[in-house]
Amino acid sequence: MSATLLDKKEISENIFLMTFSRSDKSLIYPGQFLSILHSSKEKILRRPFSIFSCSEDKVSVLVKRIGGGTTAITQMQAGESADILCPLGKPFEEKIDFTRTLFIAGGIGIAGINSFIRETKQIKMIFGDREGEFGKVIDFLGIECIYASESGLNKRKGRVTDFIGEFDFDTVVACGPKQMLRGVKERINGKRYFAVCEEIMACGVGLCNGCMVKYDDNTFRKVCTDGPVLDGNRIVYD
Amino acid sequence: MIKTHIRIGKTILKKPILGASGCSGWGNELLRFNDFSKIGGFVTKSITLNEKKGNEMPRIMETYGGLLNSIGLENRGVDYFIKNILPEIKDMECVKFLNLAFFEKSELEKMIAMLDSREGFDGYEINISCPNVAHGGISFNSSAADATSLLSGVRKMTEKTLLLKLSPAFEDSFEIGRIAEDMGFDGITFTNTYIGTAVDVKSRSFVFKNKQAGLSGPAIKPLSLMNVHKMRKKISIPIIAAGGVRTADDVLEYMILGASAVQVGTQLLVRPSVLEELCVELEERMKDLKIEDINELIGSIKE
């Protein structure tokens, strides 16, 4: 799908909010993602990003500049055309009671959570990073949450999992590094747990079986087409 | 009127471009991105007699201009394929080959016996070149003598188009190609991926649990071009070339060196719509170069 980069904002060092035009009219569900073809000659695969926000004619993603692919993407200028596959991933259609749901995000995992909380910012949420490097992103979003940093540079020192006990909930939606997702599973005593998974992907559309996670019965799920929202209690976090 | 039809065994390809096994899913994933009436066809993921779970993660890693994979033939087995997948692909408007992988000869024979009376596909691509399983797979490809005993009798089991997919990792592949021709195979798919690896420097360990993985993508194209050229000298049945195809000119290069058709693998993962796009591009390029029939191109290299 051909799209145009409409706007690029550097929200924080190395973290960009990029907004593209979209021509397809398909509904976009929480947890879905898109993939961007980039101009790096060194790396060949598209890069997948959680759909951060969307409207009928626009779609935004949060891009953290890490390697060759994301560098090429964040070097794009407004007005440039882009080759984007959107939306990808299985639509998440479970009912969630916001008053009984705890949202947990680690680092750039905030992008995967943001699509769940489009309707209301009145939510129970814990956000965590290493050294407060996402401060500007959280400010930008205007979400009330417990913001924990491992370094203690923020108000709360520790990991997101240290603060789960402060909430009363029966469902968790979490997105972040695998260790965090595992930590959440260990602390919620089998409560309903939707893990928004991130995995290195080759195709993102179900062709290659490259982006698997393993379930407790030794079967695999594709993050790209069975997920990215999977049963966090059943995932084996190696 | 530009002619792009190619014949391989009993199969007529409207365009000489197929999706490669492992990168085409079961076809249905590609339907969202390609009009199947406008493409050559595709080869399914590998089917094994029994379900195979596939390898542990990581299964893929990007390299400079390429991709390492260690998927491990993950599939639900031939029974599941017949009940659940074949009904879905049966009416797709393009050529469909089933890639069959196995660990003992009897497994291959059982699969063909179960599949052959059924409609909805054009033939088989017998895979003795998967680098990502410990037994079977590529070990069958390492010696011409082993391959001979393995493949003898297969031709008698089916009248459908029969292809053999070979690895570039063994010199014996050229001899196996010749033996397959003598046995009545209709074509050779060449090459599968190259055996490669990667090291994690922090932990000083192999990135992949199996140590080795298969390298594909633009990085391997010159190697596969040379291998196709060498294979062409050995055999006269059609070669279906594979290795880093991205553009119409890549297709032409392989065909000039003697391939009758090509398979697109890694590029399908990057651009799932590439089958249809390449078919259009190929016709335009043929017009530019005043090529009326794609068949006149095959093996036309000037030496």
pLDDT tens figures, B258-287 = 999 999 999 999 999 999 999 999 999 999
Mutation for testing the B interface, residue in A39, A40, A41, A207 having most B CBs under 10 Å: A207
Residue A12 lies in a domain: yes
The pLDDT mean for chain A works out to 93
Give A-chain residues touching B42 at CB under 8 angstroms. Answer: none
Tell me, yes or no, whether A39 and A14 share the same domain.
yes
Residue ranges of A 18-47 with Cβ closer than 8 A to chain B = 37, 41-46
ipTM: 0.91
| Among A31, A58, A88, residue at a domain's last position | A88
Band (pLDDT 50/70/90 cuts) for residue B156 is very high
B42: closest chain A residue by CA:
A207
Residue B1 lies in a domain: no
Tell me, yes or no, whether A57 and A81 share the same domain.
yes
CB atoms within 10 A of CB B51: 14
CA distance B284 to chain A (A): 21
Tell me, yes or no, whether A84 and A183 share the same domain.
no
Give A-chain residues touching B33 at CB under 8 angstroms. Answer: 205
Provide the Cα torsion A230, B31, B20, B257; round to 10°.
-150
Domain boundaries, position B262 = 6-297
A69: closest chain B residue by CA:
B62
Band (pLDDT 50/70/90 cuts) for residue B136 is low
Q: Is the dihedral of CA A46, A52, A54, A58 positive or negative?
A: negative
Q: Which of B54, B218, B269 sits opposite A207 (nearest CB)?
A: B269
The 3-state secondary structure of chain B reads CCECCEEECCEEECCCEEECCCCCCCCHHHHCCCCHHHCCEEEEEEECCCCECCCCCCCEEEECCEEEECCCCCECCHHHHHHHHHHHHCCCCCEEEEEECCCCHHHHHHHHHHHCCCCCCCEEEEECCCCCCCCCHHHHHCCHHHHHHHHCCHHHHCCCEEEEECCCCCCHHHHHHHHHHHHCCCEEEECCCEEEECEECCCCEECCCCCEEEEECHHHHHHHHHHHHHHHHHCCCCEEEECCCCCHHHHHHHHHCCCCEEEECHHHHHCCCHHHHHHHHHHHHHHHCCCCEHHHHCCCCCC
| Among A35, A68, A88, residue at a domain's last position | A88
Tell me, yes or no, whether A17 and A44 share the same domain.
yes
Mutation for testing the A interface, residue in B18, B34, B269, B275 having most A CBs under 10 Å: B269
In total, how many domains does chain A have? Answer: 2
Residue B141 lies in a domain: yes
Residue B230 lies in a domain: yes
Q: Is the dihedral of CA B281, B287, B289, B292 positive or negative?
A: positive
Domain boundaries, position A44 = 2-88
Band (pLDDT 50/70/90 cuts) for residue B33 is very high
CB atoms within 10 A of CB A98: 14
| Among A34, A66, A88, residue at a domain's last position | A88
What does pTM read for this prediction?
A: 0.94
In total, how many domains does chain B have? Answer: 1
Q: Which of B23, B30, B270 sits opposite A44 (nearest CB)?
A: B270
pLDDT tens figures, A52-100 = 999 999 999 999 999 889 999 999 999 999 999 999 999 999 989 999 9
Residue A93 lies in a domain: no
Residue A131: CATH number of its domain: 3.40.50.80
Residue A236 lies in a domain: no
Give A-chain residues touching B54 at CB under 8 angstroms. Answer: 209, 212, 220
Residue A238, chain B, CB below 8 Å: the answer is: yes
Tell me, yes or no, whether A82 and A104 share the same domain.
no
CA distance B54 to chain A (A): 9
Give the DSSP letter string of A161-177: GGGGGG---SEEEEES-
Active site residue B130: yes
Residue B184: CATH number of its domain: 3.20.20.70
Cβ–Cβ gap B53/A220 under 8 Å: yes
Residue B20 lies in a domain: yes
Residue A59: CATH number of its domain: 2.40.30.10
Tell me, yes or no, whether A210 and A122 share the same domain.
yes
pLDDT tens figures, A120-179 = 777 899 999 998 889 999 999 888 899 999 887 767 888 999 999 999 999 999 999 999
Residue ranges of A 213-232 with Cβ closer than 8 A to chain B = 213-214, 218-220, 225
